[in-house]
Amino acid sequence: MNDDPPPIDPTPEALQKEVLKLRRRVGRLETHLEDVETVRDTNLRFLDRVSGELAIEKARSRSLLLNVLPEAIVERLDGGERLIADRYDDVAVVFSDFVGFTEISGRLEVGELVSSLNGLFTAFDASCLERGVEKIKTIGDAYMAAAGLPGTRSDHVAAAADLALAMRAAVRDAGDPWHVRIGVHRGPVVAGVIGTSKFVYDLWGDAVNLASRLETTAPTDQIQVSESVAAALGDAFELEPRGAIELKGKGSTETFLLIRRREVETPSDPLARMDR
């Protein structure tokens, strides 16, 4: 069997026909190539658009997660970690509750109530962000935050105290009928993420329970802190001893009222004294 191509007729007419055939073949190939390039470009544009939309959705999903979970926890979830459970030895927990909220909710119009509550909690959130404290959750009209978790300030007890003062100031600025009680305690906690369709990052432990008890027994518009918190704050804050009070599940407990952060005294200029 002979597979060799048939011999080409060397006459000018035959050569011209072969050239025309080659041109037509080349033209068809070029057309096919253009079609392939068009399809390729279309697919690349489609892939770029899909990739862009995917990046936007991932960013939106991450933003939503950051609204309910600390950034460090989101990073761990993105890394594939499914069971988030940690123990921390020293966390300062801030717990607040509005005084007479049930009566307030029955007196105000629904829109006014939700708007006022949202305004106060938004101010609390901003104060957490400004002071490097992690908001944990709201429960009805109660608000819980913690300092001393990863990503928060190293001077976490002072940060918790500053947050409590800022929260009280925000409520005072809101005026009647809003009043608040705040409790602050420090100690070990267990932290973790629970839930699947609705994630919740929460804290458990004695520090949480005692902070809640301190809030419940605090005078109206006052910040009640434990003895360990008062000791950590030292002279940087003005504290008023309240004495021993009975706390549910704890018995007689020494407590203090947090009044304010002391002003930092700037050293006087010796040259200025000489000028006088």
State whether 102 and 55 are in the same domain.
Answer: no
Q: Is residue 30 part of a domain?
A: yes
- The three-state DSSP-derived secondary structure of 50-79 is HHHHHHHHHHHHHHHHHCCCCHHHHHHHHC
CATH at residue 130: 3.30.70.1230
Enter the tokens of residue 94.
């801030």
State whether 202 and 237 are in the same domain.
Answer: yes
In this structure, how many other beta carbons lie within 10 angstroms of the beta carbon of residue 227? Answer: 14
Q: Is residue 180 part of a domain?
A: yes
CA distance 222 to 165: 9
| Burial class of 186 by CB neighbour count within 10 A (0 to 12, 13 to 18, 19+) | buried
State whether 60 and 86 are in the same domain.
Answer: no
Please indicate whether residue 24 is annotated as part of the active site.
no
Q: What is the pLDDT, as a whole number, of residue 6?
A: 62
Per DSSP, the residues of 230-249 read: HHHHGGGEEEEEEEEEEETT
Q: Is residue 268 part of a domain?
A: no
Q: Is residue 184 part of a domain?
A: yes
Enter the tokens of residue 153.
């300030």
- What's the DSSP call for residue 154? S
Q: Is residue 271 part of a domain?
A: no
Quick one: CA torsion of 166, 171, 173, 179, rounded to 10 degrees?
A: -140
State whether 181 and 138 are in the same domain.
Answer: yes
State whether 117 and 178 are in the same domain.
Answer: yes
Conformation bin of residue 81: beta by default, left when phi > 0, alpha when psi is -120 to 50: beta
Q: What is the pLDDT along the chain (276 residues), one digit of tens a residue?
A: 556 666 655 676 766 777 777 777 877 877 888 888 888 878 878 777 777 777 777 667 666 666 667 777 777 777 777 777 889 999 999 999 999 999 999 999 999 999 999 999 999 999 999 999 999 999 989 999 999 988 777 899 999 999 999 999 999 999 999 999 999 999 999 988 887 766 788 899 999 999 999 999 999 999 999 999 999 999 999 999 999 999 988 889 999 999 999 987 655 555 544 444
State whether 54 and 116 are in the same domain.
Answer: no
Of the candidates 47, 163, 37, 17, the residue with the CA atom closest to the CA atom of residue 94: 163
State whether 31 and 134 are in the same domain.
Answer: no
Q: What is the pLDDT, as a whole number, of residue 2?
A: 59
Q: Is residue 273 part of a domain?
A: no
Q: What is the pLDDT, as a whole number, of residue 68?
A: 65
CA distance 30 to 41: 16
CA distance 149 to 153: 8
Residues with Cβ < 8 Å from 43, sequence gap 6 or more? Answer: none
State whether 170 and 229 are in the same domain.
Answer: yes
Please indicate whether residue 198 is annotated as part of the active site.
no
Q: Is residue 91 part of a domain?
A: yes
State whether 220 and 128 are in the same domain.
Answer: yes
Conformation bin of residue 8: beta by default, left when phi > 0, alpha when psi is -120 to 50: beta
State whether 104 and 172 are in the same domain.
Answer: yes
Number of domains in the chain: 2
State whether 53 and 179 are in the same domain.
Answer: no
Q: What is the pLDDT, as a whole number, of residue 122?
A: 96
The enclosing H or E element of 102 equals helix 101-107
CA distances from 228 to 7, 148, 256 (A): 104, 15, 10
State whether 46 and 88 are in the same domain.
Answer: no
Active-site pick, 24, 248, 260, 262 = 248
In terms of residue numbers, what domain contains 88?
80-261
CA distance 161 to 214: 14
pTM of structure: 0.73
Q: Is residue 212 part of a domain?
A: yes
